[in-house]
Structure 1
Amino acid sequence: MKKKSKAKAKARAHAHKRARSIAKLKPRRVKAAQKARKSPKTARTVTGPKKVVRIMGHGQFTVDHKTLKKLNEIDDALVEMVASQRADDAEFKKLLAELNHVTIKQGKAVEPGEIVRSDIILPSSEMPADEAKKLFVGDGVIPS
């Protein structure tokens, strides 16, 4: 019988200790909830994670989901152009330059000293068309 009463006392002490630790956390949660209620409600759009895009010879940029979607459209056009073998070098270079331009203008440059793994690597618009065309096969340089 003494074993059972010791076990019950130990369980009560543990429950009491746990209740005290929860009580300590509770004010933080309440404050956070109150703060959230006070902040103005804004419409939030669900976006995918940002991606790091490297342009060969130009550095790295972080791009959001919207920009990545635009880059993917240009990439698909380049892949289609190469697949149909109607790839006029001037037209190809124009789309490749647009791919770089969108990345630079709508992306945020990563600090030069910061080391970040690139999710996507784009060829530079100065790369010869014959070399760049080799990259735009299958899914292209931006995976769908």
Structure 2
Amino acid sequence: MIIRILGEGQFRIDDAAVAELNSTDDTIEKAVAAGDQEALTAALTELHARVLAEGEPVADDALEDSDLILPAADASVAEVRQLLEESQEGLLPG
């Protein structure tokens, strides 16, 4: 799976690692439901760090579609709420 982090680039990450990231995705959903910007920013920052640590960067000159796009770590509750409403299953599949 290829994940794009806005402002960071694309990262290839295996399905097992994506499954492990779902706990952070749950935290993001809870922060959005509570309208808690501080908790959302912390969870998005953690999610980005984990993708960067687990993922393999995709070369800038490679033309590969992203399977999913993560919002920036400083995205607002409203921005992430809209993404969650569009996805039906959180920011990450599963």
Instruction: Compute the TM-score of the two structures, normalised by the length of structure 1.
Output: 0.58
- Kindly provide the CA deviation profile for residues 50-104 of structure 1, in whole angstroms up to 9, marking residues without a partner as x: x10001121100011222012222112222333xx32311011100111111111
Q: Greater CA radius of gyration, 1 or 2?
A: 1
In structure 2, C-alpha distance between the alignment counterparts of 1:79 and 1:88, rounded to whole Å: 10
Residue 111 of structure 1: how far off its partner (Å): 0.4
1:4 alignment counterpart: none
Structure 2: gaps (5+ residues) = none
Which runs of at least 4 in structure 1 moved beyond 3 Å after TM superposition?
none
Residue 109 of structure 1: how far off its partner (Å): 0.3
**Equivalent of residue 70 in structure 1, options 8, 17, 20:** 20
Matches within 5 A, 1:2-21: none
2:53 alignment counterpart: 105
> What's the C-alpha RMSD, in Å, of the aligned pairs?
1.6
In structure 1, C-alpha distance between the alignment counterparts of 2:66 and 2:47, rounded to whole Å: 16
Is 1:58 equivalent to 2:8 in the alignment?
yes
Q: Which amino acid aligns with 1:57?
A: G
Q: Which amino acid aligns with 1:61?
A: F
Q: Between Structure 1 and Structure 2, how many residues are aligned? A: 92
In structure 1, C-alpha distance between the alignment counterparts of 2:31 and 2:39, rounded to whole Å: 9
2:39 alignment counterpart: 91
Q: Percent identity?
A: 29
Higher mean C-alpha deviation, range 96-105 or range 128-137: 128-137
1:13 alignment counterpart: none
SS in 2 for 1:81: helix
In structure 2, C-alpha distance between the alignment counterparts of 1:95 and 1:117, rounded to whole Å: 25
Q: Which amino acid aligns with 2:50?
A: V
Structure 1: gaps (5+ residues) = 1-50
SS in 1 for 2:83: coil
